[in-house]
Amino acid sequence: MADLKINIAGMQFKNPVTTASGCFGYGEEFKDFYDLGLLGGIFVKAVTGSNREGNKYPRMAETPSGMLNSVGLQNKGVDNFCEVIYPRLKNFNTQIIVNVSGSTIEEYVKVAERINELEGIPAIELNISCPNVKEGGMAFGVVPSTATEVTRAVRDVYKKVLMVKLSPNVTSITEMAKAVVEGGADVLTLINTLLGMAINSETQRPVISTVTGGLSGPAIKPVALRMVWQVFKAVKVPIVGLGGIMNASDAIEFMLAGASVIQVGTANFINPMVAPKIVEGINEYLDRHNIPSARDIIGALKVC
């Protein structure tokens, strides 16, 4: 049995496998399938300042090796999260990280301040990369100066580990990475979904109500791997990698490219048992290659 423990920014993960925000609810839906204590961590569904109903149906299109979504941050707001959801989460035997989103810098700050008070939540993941809301979201994550600004504003009020989730819909991912590190990010998560579109040729209409949406699944894996690798070489902070991870081999590829921890997203929709299976697969891989620790493969890509 290899050592699967990973430490980043003072947080200990029992293994590198976590689940991506928006793809795992608040974790409770998966308790029917397995013990959540098997996971390294859970990034819970985005929390905003107040209740959001999200976008109109249809919100989803199946695309080649992936899917397009435009859920639009549907959630009941930070008060409901703190009062109703948090008490149910705090005793899960795994790291719980809250994805924080908003339309204005003030909203991000307000949500971050509230989450800062919650015991047992060691980190937030600042979502400046949601492509499915009209205001805020990705707008903050595609211009380096505003990305620095929102990160700094949250950094001023949030005292625990600050992760920032980057959008791939940019010209230079390394420039964005440097911008949020300058703003005070401890950890970078990448990538969020790629902006995409699906059309029904028969009806001559877009498949989803918002016309464009976020593409996820194996279709985006090569783009995500490239970005993780570029950012790994450009900045010193640890990376949480995601984008189309379906199995242990995909997860290991992200770690070789430079991710310390990985997130499983869309795969949870297809196989509810996939995340613990990836934990087992990473262990089996390390044993097979006589590698003592999962830490040894982080950024270990052999480029000659």
Rounded to whole angstroms, the Cα distance separating 284 from 100 reads 34
Sign of the torsion formed by the C-alpha atoms of 29, 270, 248 and 234: negative
- Tell whether residue 33 is a contact of other proteins (CB under 8 A): yes
Region binding other proteins by CB under 8 A among candidate stretches 3-11, 19-27, 170-178, 221-229 = 19-27
Rounded to whole angstroms, the Cα distance separating 10 from 28 reads 26
CB of 98 to other proteins, least distance (A): 16
**191 secondary structure, DSSP code:** -
**Among residues 53, 83, 117, 135, which is the contact residue for other proteins, using CB under 8 A?**
53
Region binding other proteins by CB under 8 A among candidate stretches 23-31, 127-135, 185-193, 223-231 = 23-31
- Tell whether residue 58 is a contact of other proteins (CB under 8 A): yes
- Tell whether residue 270 is a contact of other proteins (CB under 8 A): yes
Rounded to whole angstroms, the Cα distance separating 296 from 287 reads 12
Residues 6+ apart with CB under 8 A from 202: none
Secondary structure, 3-state, 197-246: ECEECCCCEECCCCCEEEEECHHHHHHHHHHHHHHHHHCCCCEEECCCCC
CA-based max dimension of the chain: 56
Rounded to whole angstroms, the Cα distance separating 125 from 132 reads 17
**Among residues 40, 256, 268, 285, which is the contact residue for other proteins, using CB under 8 A?**
268
Region binding other proteins by CB under 8 A among candidate stretches 7-15, 61-69, 169-177, 282-290 = 61-69
- Tell whether residue 175 is a contact of other proteins (CB under 8 A): no
- Tell whether residue 273 is a contact of other proteins (CB under 8 A): yes
Angle at 139 between CA 46 and CA 8, to 5 degrees: 50
Smaller CB separation from other proteins, 62 or 175 = 62
Smaller CB separation from other proteins, 220 or 237 = 220
Size of the site for other proteins (CB under 8 A): 33
Cα 271 versus chain centre, distance: 18
**Among residues 269, 283, 291, 295, which is the contact residue for other proteins, using CB under 8 A?**
269
- Tell whether residue 50 is a contact of other proteins (CB under 8 A): no
Is residue 23 among the annotated active site residues?
Answer: no
Give the footprint of other proteins on this chain (CB under 8 A).
Answer: 22-25, 29-30, 32-33, 53-54, 56-60, 62-67, 69, 71, 74, 209, 217, 266, 268-273
Known catalytic residues are 130
